[in-house]
């Protein structure tokens, strides 16, 4: 019984990392209509930049925030210099981000090398607590906590603030929003900044749990895409639900039938796409 | 045999009933106009007839054949064609290409994967005749997106007529045209669509008077009057709906 | 101003000659030169021709029909794997057996994938094609007994034609060249046919096409299958040319690579995708002489620049250049 709880908790904590990545992806997709194929690469870059910063800055959380901001700025440059030139051309924008996947991946390989990098949790979280006869890392609990905190913050932003209302309006009807005098370009940049920030942070704080390597970007992007579709595009709740579900399936799957885990996830993905493309909690399209 | 017969057609969008028990018919070769204030449901009605929207209740017949649930492309093969209020052409293809595509749409040759489209001499000749009729043969290699609005509007009608439909639906055909261009435009329709039954929605009463044999008035999804243009013009209910007689009849092409 | 291809119905033979001159010239070069090429250049040319077919096949689906698919390598890869399995695990080396098998597998897969993918549109179509490609990648990775897992299937020989000579790199080159010409011809006729025009119409305005009597779903489905068919041809040739098949040949890596080729070359001209393939592969061969580790970076940079600044792809510029050359010889009415 305890071993199940362990797997579920592992799944949820992993799901929180997924959530951070997927929520950014979902926002960018919902507001700008762009599938940011480089989102996984941003996550990976966040991990590596964070690692480098960590050797100079003591505080774990400061590093996480700083790393996130660096990635966010990078994302902003990407959006302002490149993406905004292809205004409204969804296909071309997705392709552009694809180009950056290649660039970022190779740069990371170049600068940091191809060896796996492990990150460590801050010392006060580096212990484990007992669950039955197993020990569960305290840091994973911290991850769950952080994830829920971010989810709550995003939800509040989405539902309770004027800025959030603008973002939601932008998702529904871009022309109307622009017609109301809201600077759509500014909204896009802000959203991209936020999404990149979340991905970058996720990269670093995920390190104690996920080993970093220069190829981890794209698989993570695929997982995030699956989360967004299953949970429903555009809403924070959807990303959270989807992330938790996928996290649990992934962990249970790896424990029970390791060879088929990925398979199952893709199968579920395709089924949801066919049966209910708007996702479990998404706005019915 | 009626070209178009609609029985008890209703269309609901969620809780909103846009069309209520609409019944009307169009005889072969007849021109019938459907008018009504904005939001009365004219475009919805056209969309249900072409199959873009499904009817909630009711039946639709074209030349005796029931098409209530037939897919859109099959309705074209029964003889139905349509033009759009907002011009919908194939923008990055040439003028001649647009016409050729609309001609091949009805032929089995449309699935041909080997013979060039230009090898079909008969369709080519037909396309030439059609383009010469609307004065665009010289511009046949120009991309549609470079045409002027008026030229595109002519193309819009020509494309829907290319395959010689038996029933033609026109959605605000003169939309966006300058007042001076309209008489030439209606003449073009009359010469191109000789013998075809035409069912069209319009705002411009001049167009209605010039083209229609009969007029149907739609108000909040219901037909409230039918008759010849003169009868409708004199109808007091109709006048009321259009907020007074003078403004109503002088209404010029607001879409 | 960009115009639609003028419909030239009856051309004087001189005009036709001038119009076809570059193709004739290029073909002559490609036929006469190979025996004198270094092995390095020869293998690059073979790759260009193979990826040329592959890119043309994607352009049917993407450029002409407007379906953004990032899973096209699935058909390419399944064909390559079929070829590899037949040749290395079962010892069947005849081209006449292996090629149809590979092509049929690719076409079948396209028929199945098409039904699934065409249930959705827009961004979801992208998702599904990507997922279907990755699914197949996962299968190749896990089904170790049949596909060799992550090690792939090495040691794929050249197929035999049943003719009285052994297949060398040069002869294989001619085989690839011949198939390239055949495929290019077939795809060209497809594009110019009523079916091909209908695909473009669907890309422009699917709705309108339905009203004109076209069963648009069927067209998209057939386009998908035809695209899969030609990707299968490329795959059959690819397996022996690279002599190894690995799961990556089925997945997003290869799907995105061929998409890059199509974009760089441009979708608006017929030969654009082939030009794109040539550019990418030329670059790859030269970069790998000096700094192979930086190749993805350069590829990504070229791609980003191409999408941002060369919106229509290189092919359009090549065509314009050629038209200018042609018209300056004065014989063709503009």
Q: Return all residues near C305 (Cβ < 8 A) that are at least 6 apart.
A: none
Mutate to test the interface with A, among C112, C133, C300 (most CBs of A within 10 A): C300
Indicate yes or no: CB of A273 within 8 angstroms of CB of C120: yes
The tokens describing A36, both together, are 């940011």
pLDDT for residue C8 is more than 60: no
A274: nearest CA in chain C? C119
The confidence score (pLDDT) of residue B254 equals 43
The alpha-carbon gap from C91 to the nearest alpha carbon of chain B, in Å, equals 36
C9: contact with B, CB 8 A cutoff:
yes
Of the ranges B154-158, C113-117, C245-249, C307-311, which one carries the lowest mean pLDDT score? Answer: C307-311
Would you state the pLDDT for residue B232? 85
CATH class of A2-275: mainly alpha
Mean pLDDT of chain C: 88
User: From B168, which residue of chain C is nearest by alpha-carbon distance?
Assistant: C211
Closest CB to B73 among C194, C200, C214? C214
Asked if C307 and A92 come within 8 Å (Cβ–Cβ), the reply is yes
pLDDT of C11 over the 70 cut: no
- pLDDT value of position B255: 40
Looking at chain A, which subunits does it touch, using at least 3 CB pairs closer than 8 Å as the criterion?
Answer: C
Looking at beta carbons, which residues of chain A come within 8 Å of C139?
263
The structure tokens listed for C276 are 């794109």
In chain C, the residue whose alpha carbon lies closest to the alpha carbon of A83 is C308
Residue C332 has pLDDT above 60, yes or no: no
Q: Is C2 on the interface with B (CB under 8 A)?
A: yes
Tell me which residue in C190, C204, C216 faces B113 most closely, judged by beta carbons: C190
d(CA C184, CA C192): 12
**Alpha-carbon radius of gyration of chain A:** 18
Q: How much is the pLDDT for A69?
A: 95
Query: For residue C226, what is the nearest residue in chain B, using CA coordinates?
Result: B113
Determine the distance in angstroms separating the CA of B89 from the nearest CA of chain C, rounded to an integer. 7
Token code pair at residue B205: 């009463």
pLDDT along chain B (255 residues), means of 10: 88 86 89 86 90 90 90 90 88 90 88 87 89 86 87 87 88 82 83 85 85 89 87 83 52 43
The pair phi, psi for residue A266, each rounded to 5°, is -65, -35
Instruction: Say what percent of chain C tops pLDDT 70.
Output: 92
Report the pLDDT averaged over residues C249-259.
92
What CA–CA distance (Å, rounded) separates B218 from B41?
7
Q: Please give the Cα distance from A283 to A172 (Å, whole number).
A: 10
B21: left (phi over 0), alpha (psi -120 to 50) or beta: left
**C-alpha closest to that of A106 among C287, C73, C58, C308:** C287
Provide the token pair at C23: 């193709």
Interface touch C130/A225, C-beta < 8 Å: yes
Q: What angle do CA C203, C208, C212 make, to 5 degrees?
A: 115
Task: Identify the residue whose tokens are 């149809």.
Answer: C100
**Which residue of C308, C311, C313 to mutate against A (max A Cβ within 10 Å)?**
C308
CA distance A102 to C252: 12
Residue to test with chain C: of B43, B73, B91, most C Cβ within 10 A = B73
Judged by 3 or more CB pairs under 8 A, whether C touches A is yes
Chain C closest-CA separation from residue B51 CA (Å): 9
Q: How far off is chain B from C140, nearest CA to CA, in Å? A: 34
What does the DSSP 8-state code read for residue C245?
Answer: B
* Cβ pair C59, C274 in contact under 8 A: no
Residues of chain C numbered 167-226 and touching chain B (CB < 8 Å): 186, 189-190, 192-198, 200-201, 204-205, 207-216, 226
For each of chain A's 285 residues, which pLDDT tens digit applies? 677 888 888 899 999 999 999 999 998 888 888 889 999 999 999 999 998 988 888 888 899 999 999 999 999 999 999 888 887 777 888 888 989 999 999 999 999 888 887 877 777 777 777 777 777 888 888 889 989 999 999 888 888 777 777 777 766 666 666 666 667 778 888 989 999 999 999 999 998 888 888 888 888 998 999 898 888 877 888 899 999 999 998 888 888 877 777 777 888 888 887 787 777 776 654
Contact A259 C256 (CB under 8 A): no
Q: Give the model's pLDDT for residue C331.
A: 45
Whole-number pLDDT of residue C52:
97
Mutate to test the interface with C, among A37, A220, A222, A266 (most CBs of C within 10 A): A266
- The pTM for the full model equals 0.88
């Amino acid at each position: 019984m305890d071993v199940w709880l362990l797997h579920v908790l592992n799944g949820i904590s992993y799901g929180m990392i997924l959530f951070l990545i997927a929520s950014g992806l979902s926002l960018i997709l919902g507001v700008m209509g762009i599938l940011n194929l480089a989102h996984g690469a941003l996550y990976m870059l966040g991990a590596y930049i964070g690692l480098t910063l960590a050797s100079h800055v003591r505080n774990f959380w400061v590093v996480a925030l700083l790393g996130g901001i660096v990635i966010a700025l990078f994302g902003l440059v990407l959006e302002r210099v490149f993406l905004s030139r292809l205004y409204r051309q969804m296909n071309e924008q997705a392709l552009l981000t694809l180009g950056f996947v290649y660039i970022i991946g190779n740069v990371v390989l170049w600068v940091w090398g191809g060896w796996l990098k492990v990150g460590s949790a801050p010392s006060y979280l580096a212990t484990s607590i007992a669950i039955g006869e197993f020990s569960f890392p305290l840091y994973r609990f911290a991850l769950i906590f952080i994830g829920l905190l971010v989810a709550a913050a995003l939800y509040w932003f989405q539902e309770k603030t004027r800025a959030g209302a603008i973002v939601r309006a932008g998702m529904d009807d871009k022309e109307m929003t622009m017609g109301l005098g809201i600077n759509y370009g500014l909204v896009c940049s802000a959203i991209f900044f936020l999404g990149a920030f979340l991905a970058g942070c996720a990269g670093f704080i995920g390190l104690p749990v996920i080993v970093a390597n220069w190829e981890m970007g794209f698989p993570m992007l695929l997982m995030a895409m699956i989360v967004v579709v299953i949970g429903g595009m555009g809403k924070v709740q959807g990303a959270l639900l989807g992330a938790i579900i996928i996290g649990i399936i992934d962990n249970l799957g790896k424990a029970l039938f390791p060879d088929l885990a990925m398979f199952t996830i893709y199968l579920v993905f395709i089924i949801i796409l066919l049966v209910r493309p708007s996702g479990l909690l998404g706005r019915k399209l | 045999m009626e070209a178009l017969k609609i029985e008890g057609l209703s269309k609901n969008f969620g809780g909103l009933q846009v069309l209520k028990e609409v019944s009307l018919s169009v005889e072969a070769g007849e021109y019938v106009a459907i008018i009504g204030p904005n939001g009365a449901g004219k475009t919805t009605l056209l969309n249900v007839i072409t199959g873009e929207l499904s009817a909630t209740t009711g039946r639709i017949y074209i030349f005796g054949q029931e098409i209530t649930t037939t897919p859109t492309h099959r309705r074209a093969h029964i003889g139905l064609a349509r033009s759009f209020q907002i011009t919908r052409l194939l923008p990055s293809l040439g003028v001649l290409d647009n016409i050729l595509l609309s001609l091949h749409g009805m032929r089995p040759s449309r699935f041909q994967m080997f013979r060039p489209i230009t090898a079909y001499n008969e369709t080519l000749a037909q396309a030439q005749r059609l383009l010469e009729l609307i004065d665009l043969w010289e511009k046949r290699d120009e991309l549609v997106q470079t045409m002027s609005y008026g030229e595109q509007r002519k193309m819009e009608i020509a494309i829907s007529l290319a395959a010689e439909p038996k029933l033609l639906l026109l959605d605000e055909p003169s939309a966006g045209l300058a007042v001076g261009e309209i008489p030439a435009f209606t003449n073009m329709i009359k010469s191109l669509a000789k013998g075809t039954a035409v069912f069209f929605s319009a705002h411009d009463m001049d167009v209605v008077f010039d083209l229609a044999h009969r007029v149907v008035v739609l108000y909040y999804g219901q037909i409230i009057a039918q008759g010849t243009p003169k009868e409708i013009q004199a109808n007091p209910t109709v006048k009321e709906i259009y907020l007074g007689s003078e403004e109503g009849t002088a209404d010029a092409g607001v879409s | 101003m960009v115009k639609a291809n003028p419909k030239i119905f009856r051309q004087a033979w001189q005009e036709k000659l001038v119009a076809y001159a570059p193709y004739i010239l290029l073909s002559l070069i490609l036929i006469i030169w190979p025996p004198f090429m270094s092995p390095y250049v020869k293998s690059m040319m073979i790759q260009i021709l193979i990826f040329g077919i592959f890119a043309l096949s994607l352009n049917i689906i993407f450029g002409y029909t407007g379906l953004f698919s990032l899973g096209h390598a699935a058909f390419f890869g399944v064909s390559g794997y079929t070829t590899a399995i037949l040749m290395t695990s079962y010892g069947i080396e005849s081209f006449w057996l292996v090629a149809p098998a590979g092509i049929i597998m690719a076409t079948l897969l396209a028929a199945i994938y098409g039904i699934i993918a065409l249930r959705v549109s827009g961004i979801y179509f992208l998702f599904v094609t990507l997922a279907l490609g990755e699914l197949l990648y996962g299968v190749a990775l896990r089904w170790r007994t049949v596909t060799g897992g992550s090690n792939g299937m090495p040691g794929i020989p050249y197929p035999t034609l049943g003719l009285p000579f052994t297949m060398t790199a040069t002869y294989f080159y001619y085989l690839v060249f011949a198939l390239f010409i055949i495929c290019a011809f077939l795809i060209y006729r497809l594009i110019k046919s009523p079916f091909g025009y209908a695909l473009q119409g669907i890309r422009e305005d699917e709705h309108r096409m339905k009203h004109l009597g076209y069963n648009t779903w069927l067209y998209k489905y057939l386009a998908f299958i035809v695209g899969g068919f030609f990707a299968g041809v490329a795959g059959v040739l690819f397996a022996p040319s690279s002599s190894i098949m690995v799961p990556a040949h089925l997945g997003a890596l290869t799907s995105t690579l061929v998409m890059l080729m199509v974009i760089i070359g441009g979708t608006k001209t017929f030969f654009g995708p082939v030009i794109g393939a040539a550019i990418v592969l030329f670059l790859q061969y030269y970069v790998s002489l000096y700094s192979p580790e930086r190749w993805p970076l350069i590829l990504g940079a070229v791609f980003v620049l191409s999408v941002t600044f060369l919106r229509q792809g290189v092919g359009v510029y090549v065509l314009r250049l050629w038209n200018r050359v042609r018209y300056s010889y004065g014989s063709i009415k503009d």
